[in-house]
A and B are shown apart, each in its own frame.
Chain A
């Protein structure tokens, strides 16, 4: 899944205390398309931006398991169930790759998870929408993972090495997710009238939230310029959004489903699809915690964390015991 380009509560770190020469040398390395690795010097603001973005991305993967898990016990066939389990495992894996990448910047896993549980960290607001029918699982794979891929492929060339490398792994796996989703939609769209109606209903509900996944419009995006200069970001939100729309509209036509936007029109001059106005009020409402499932998602994460506490404790106690026993045996043998 993915993180949206969002910096709602960022506090800019002042570069004033940093040696201007060092900052200039750092920027020169970035400009020369060099990669930055964990032990290299970097401006505090670069580090902070990456920690925020990578951890938001990781949280999105972890929370993203919930809307999918909702249908895991109710898939229409065993085949679909196996596919879903594989996909959900991938999301967990993606979350873990990303937490590891964030940790190379000097934050701990516990700290990041703590921020998520405390409601202080953001995750992609798309996961605050419910998956009401089986068709939603198809729509999530096709649209949400499709949007994620658009956003993630450029991050494979991000200036920060560990993030870029994690993204290469993720993109390889994400392609299966999107194809799986599209195929699920195709089965419904080509099925009975009721099944086709389910597919259309899912598209109607997921289209706009997916379009919003790319984050605020360029003219309202807080940190876009700096992120571009640092090559953390390679395209603007609006550029990526347009790529997604151009790729997805023909796919919807292939499915013979209609995109819920009466203003949608192919622009002969630009060769792009123009869309109607985006409801940014809804976007900010969901980002700020007032989406359909914000509370439910965090509560479920908190419950899972609490219920897993004894497992984590037991694993640690067992490891300690085995270490002690091993040490004891060694002493006895000597």
Chain B
């Protein structure tokens, strides 16, 4: 068997201008060019995209689930409710704010 694993790429599509690219899945390709071609064939058969991004999966730097607490807990709304507009009581008479 001469088959070896082809590099993995992640695919992102922008459905229309005004929206950001969104992750839709992944695929294997030998190089960037083939990844783009395969992304078109596999993920856009019905006008799903105006723009395609492909990124080698190994190039993505991701936060560690095991570090979630240390990394992301500080932004928990329950810990820092004062960062949210609903924390502040404004009398009804003031009107919409």
Contacts and interface: CB of A to CB of B under 8 A. Distances in A.
Nearest to B6: A316
Given A108-B5, A110-B5, A315-B34, A100 B45 contact: no
A166 B5 contact: no
A93 B26 contact: no
Contacts of A309: 2-3
A114 to B, nearest CB: 8
Interface string B23-37: 011111011001000
A265 interface: no
A39 B42 contact: no
B25 A39 contact: no
Contacts of B59: none
B62 interface: yes
B8 interface: yes
A318 B30 contact: yes
B4 A93 contact: no
A59 B96 CA distance: 57
B65 A100 contact: no
Given A39-B65, A100-B27, A89 B6 contact: no
A8 interface: no
B34 A100 contact: no
A220 interface: no
B5 A93 contact: no
Nearest to B38: A96
Nearest to A308: B3
A169 to B, nearest CB: 7
B2 A169 contact: no
A93 B45 contact: yes
A229 interface: no
A86 interface: yes
Interface in A261-316: 309, 312-313, 315-316
Nearest to B11: A100
Contacts of B43: 93
Q: How large is the interface on A (under 10, 10 to 19, 20 to 34, 35 or more residues)?
A: 20 to 34
A319 interface: yes
A316 B65 contact: no
Given A40-B65, A96-B27, A100-B25, A89 B45 contact: yes
Interface in B9-64: 24-28, 30-31, 34, 41-43, 45-46, 62, 64
A113 to B, nearest CB: 8
A322 interface: yes
Contacts of A104: 26
Nearest to B44: A93
A313 B46 CA distance: 31
Contacts of B30: 315-316, 318-319
Interface string A18-57: 0000000000000000000001110000000000000000
Contact of B34 (A41, A319, A323): A319
Tell me which of A39, A166, A309 has the highest count of chain B C-beta atoms within 10 A of its own C-beta: A39
Interface in A183-221: none
A318 B43 CA distance: 24
B55 to A, nearest CB: 14
B25 A97 contact: yes
A103 B8 contact: yes
A110 B3 contact: yes
A173 B62 CA distance: 31
21 contacts: A39-B62, A39-B64, A89-B41, A89-B45, A93-B42, A93-B43, A93-B45, A100-B25, A103-B26, A104-B26, A108-B5, A109-B5, A110-B3, A166-B25, A169-B24, A309-B2, A309-B3, A313-B2, A316-B4, A318-B30, A322-B31
Given A39-B64, A39-B65, 10 more contacts: A93-B42, A93-B45, A97-B25, A100-B26, A103-B26, A104-B26, A108-B5, A165-B25, A316-B4, A316-B30
